[in-house]
Structure 1
Amino acid sequence: MTRLRLTQICLLSLFAFMGQPNLSFGQSNDSPPTQPAFGRLDEATAHQWSELVLDGVDTQFPNKLSLVYTDADQLKTPKENFPAFYGCFDWHSSVHGHWVLARLLRTHPDLDAAPKIRDVLSAHLTRENIEQETAFFGRDQHKSFERMYGWSWYLRLAMELDDWDDTDARRWRENLRPLENLFVERIRDYLPLLTFPIRTGQHTDTGFALGQILDYARVMKLPDLELLVIDRAKAYYQTDIDYPVQYEPSGHDFFSSGWNEADLMRRVSNSNDFADWFEKFIPNLDERLRDGTIEPVAVSDLSDGKLVHLAGLNLSRAWCMRAIAMSLPDDHPHRDSLMQSASDHLSAGLAYVNSGHYEGDHWLATFALYALTQSDGERDE
């Protein structure tokens, strides 16, 4: 993308933020801006994001339930249905908010907020709470609830806690197993029935969920689940060519279905085979990066719960582009341009985290943390 266009996006971001608190990325508003780097999260930002998420996971309202009711007796508050994951506006955001807390506690154990994080995770991730949520999801009327977006974030949370040498984390991890096992069973039943992938820039995108599930299957050493995901990924996407990048984004996107697809396919192919597939999937990539076809996007209204999705699009594109670049052969001509675009997208997305508007604040820290620190099943100790 051109530097002029990046400057325009930054200015639009600033105008969207005018009059709002917490404009900075881990620094005071008087400090000069710094370029964020993949794999690094400073203590100030970790503290800021932990406070943001701690507030969200205990905020029951506003809340979007998106449930099917079969009688009036089922009308309950979010906390009555979901004693563990009732906050952060919706179930999946609460789940991945807990992932943020677990990851920050694991990677930054000396945070000022660490004791509070432990208290919140211990209060929410109890055996009784998870068993109650498992019973809720086990009802036939809820078999498609949070499929597969929320399910995959729950598996990511389980993966984060797994093999962590920490007394509390071992307890939390064991408590997650009943609902975890239900989701794995549901995935095994569902994927053979999903004839076509769901291609969308929002929650139900198949490519994103399969990438998360594949990471989980490999870390947990579940070869049957791994092979099922690989088989479905290749059936859905192996022959795709000429992805229409010029059609993106749609107005409410927080994902690029195409970049999610490529991020999945790099997981199921060796480096050279993936490079061949990727060249056909997005031909003339460098030209499209130069001419502005693929570039970060600005958010016009941070108080609009749908329009603010575009902030997440910047972050999800960033993690996809970086992972794809790292999967290409060392001498591949697209590596450097992809890494630069990933960095530009990361910078644009991070500017919107902690804006003071709950519409984005209840979830954007997750996308930011994932973009900065996550790599498949690897976990920073």
Structure 2
Amino acid sequence: MELTEDIARNFARIALGHVARPYPYKDDHVFEGEDDVRAPREAHPVFFGSFDWHSCVHGWWTLLTLRRLYPDIPEAAAITALAEGTFTEEKLAVELAYLERPSSRGFERPYGWGWLLYLHLEAERAAEHGWGERLAPLARAFAARLVEYLRILTYPITVGTHFNTSFALILAREWAARHDPVLLATIDDWSIAGFSHRDDYRGWEPGGDEFLSPVLCASMLMSRVMPFTQFEPWVDGLVLGNGWIERECRPVTVSDRSDGKIAHLDGLNLSRAWCLRGIGKALGDHPALPLIELRASEHLNAAMPHVAGDYMGEHWLASFALLALLEG
């Protein structure tokens, strides 16, 4: 399955329906006093929609990416108009001021950080509008925080939810390769130290509310960090040689899509497809490539019918579907 204009239009309509939808909203806020009670839109005039801050960020990445790839679809004009009214200097200054609060040190760390950098990278591709230039101060602030965070993070966080280290670093590394050699070197050195000694994966995937595969995210990260001559034997020893992908890596069942946590499992199917496609590209003509491609297709086909439907998935799943489709 690949991205088509019909799919792009559907994803664009979905994201346009939630990036500016203020409620329901799940806030990640530390109250500093009695006077610190406010509506989410007051603190986040840019990223106040999509149920939560990070979903709004990657909802916008979805929209700007689709606008670039399909500039002539009817939804492209609506995306442009909404972006012009959203990515203003005044509104982004409020987002930056929120980040500079002492109690915001861990705000959206690291998932939202990686997505914001990825959004900035996409926004820069629409240079004629200046969205990337206006987002740049926020991106630089998150990049600086990520460097400091990796300097104190002794061990990788390998859960399958927002705290996963590898997923954020995959996104942030693409931004750093273009903007920040210090962050790029920090990510690469930290990744080698954190994962290069890992082998023979036997984790208990899937977790009941995970939307990321810890081992596949780490593998995709290392496919970007390691040269091929090192990556091939490493991933062979991690998940190929022991039969994990053949035996364990199968599409997961979602029992209740109205439950926000259970609905994460649709995202697991999509993110696994994304990672498997990326790992397969890195391996090239490897004997395991047909199996990897089969598993990627199985996971993508299992999740694509459920990108829209209940808002608990609809406010974020299109972004992960787009990642998987673009990786193909």
TM-score range, shorter chain: over 0.9
Equivalent residue of 1:89, what SS?
coil
Structure-2 separation of matches of 1:333 and 1:46: 33
Corresponding residue to 2:139 among 168, 171, 180: 180
- Residue 167 of structure 1 is matched in structure 2 by 128
**Residues 211 and 265 of structure 2 are in contact (CA less than 8 Å); yes or no, is this contact kept in structure 1?**
yes
**Residues 275 and 329 of structure 1 are in contact (CA less than 8 Å); yes or no, is this contact kept in structure 2?**
no
Structure-2 separation of matches of 1:224 and 1:338: 34
**What code does the residue aligned with 1:234 have?**
I
Give, in angstroms, the shift of residue 284 of structure 1: 3.1
Aligned pairs for 1:29-178 (under 5 A) are: 36-37=1-2, 41-164=3-126, 166-168=127-129, 171-178=130-137
Corresponding residue to 1:238 among 191, 196, 209: 196
Runs of 4+ displaced beyond 4 Å: none
Give, in angstroms, the shift of residue 329 of structure 1: 4.0
- Alpha-carbon RMSD across the aligned residues, in angstroms, is 1.3
TM-score by length of 1: 0.84
Whichever structure has more helix as a proportion of its residues is: 2
- Ranked by relative contact order (alpha carbons within 8 Å, sequence separation 6 or more), the top structure is 1
Corresponding residue to 2:211 among 251, 254, 264: 254
Give, in angstroms, the shift of residue 78 of structure 1: 1.0
- Residue 269 of structure 1 is matched in structure 2 by 226
Give, in angstroms, the shift of residue 242 of structure 1: 1.4
CA deviation vs aligned residue, 1:125-160 (integer Å, no higher than 9, x gap)? 111111110000011100101011001101001111
- Residue 342 of structure 1 is matched in structure 2 by 296
Does 1:282 find its partner at 2:239?
yes
Corresponding residue to 1:201 among 160, 164, 170: 160
Corresponding residue to 2:314 among 344, 347, 361: 361
Cα separation, partners in 2 of 1:374 and 1:176, compared to 1, 3 Å: farther
Equivalent residue of 1:201, what SS?
coil
- Corresponding residue pairs, total: 328
**Residues 78 and 86 of structure 1 are in contact (CA less than 8 Å); yes or no, is this contact kept in structure 2?**
yes
- Residue 14 of structure 1 is matched in structure 2 by none
Structure-2 separation of matches of 1:283 and 1:167: 45
- Residue 324 of structure 1 is matched in structure 2 by 279
Structure-1 separation of matches of 2:253 and 2:295: 15
Structure-2 separation of matches of 1:283 and 1:323: 15
Q: Where in structure 1 are there 5+ consecutive unaligned residues? A: 1-35, 376-381
- Residue 299 of structure 1 is matched in structure 2 by 254
Cα separation, partners in 2 of 1:207 and 1:327, compared to 1, 3 Å: same
- Residue 186 of structure 2 is matched in structure 1 by 228
TM-score by length of 2: 0.97
**Residues 198 and 206 of structure 1 are in contact (CA less than 8 Å); yes or no, is this contact kept in structure 2?**
yes
Give, in angstroms, the shift of residue 64 of structure 1: 0.5
Structure-1 separation of matches of 2:168 and 2:80: 28
**Residues 318 and 341 of structure 1 are in contact (CA less than 8 Å); yes or no, is this contact kept in structure 2?**
yes
**Residues 95 and 157 of structure 1 are in contact (CA less than 8 Å); yes or no, is this contact kept in structure 2?**
yes
Give, in angstroms, the shift of residue 46 of structure 1: 1.3
Give, in angstroms, the shift of residue 272 of structure 1: 2.1
**What code does the residue aligned with 1:138 have?**
E
Give, in angstroms, the shift of residue 219 of structure 1: 2.6
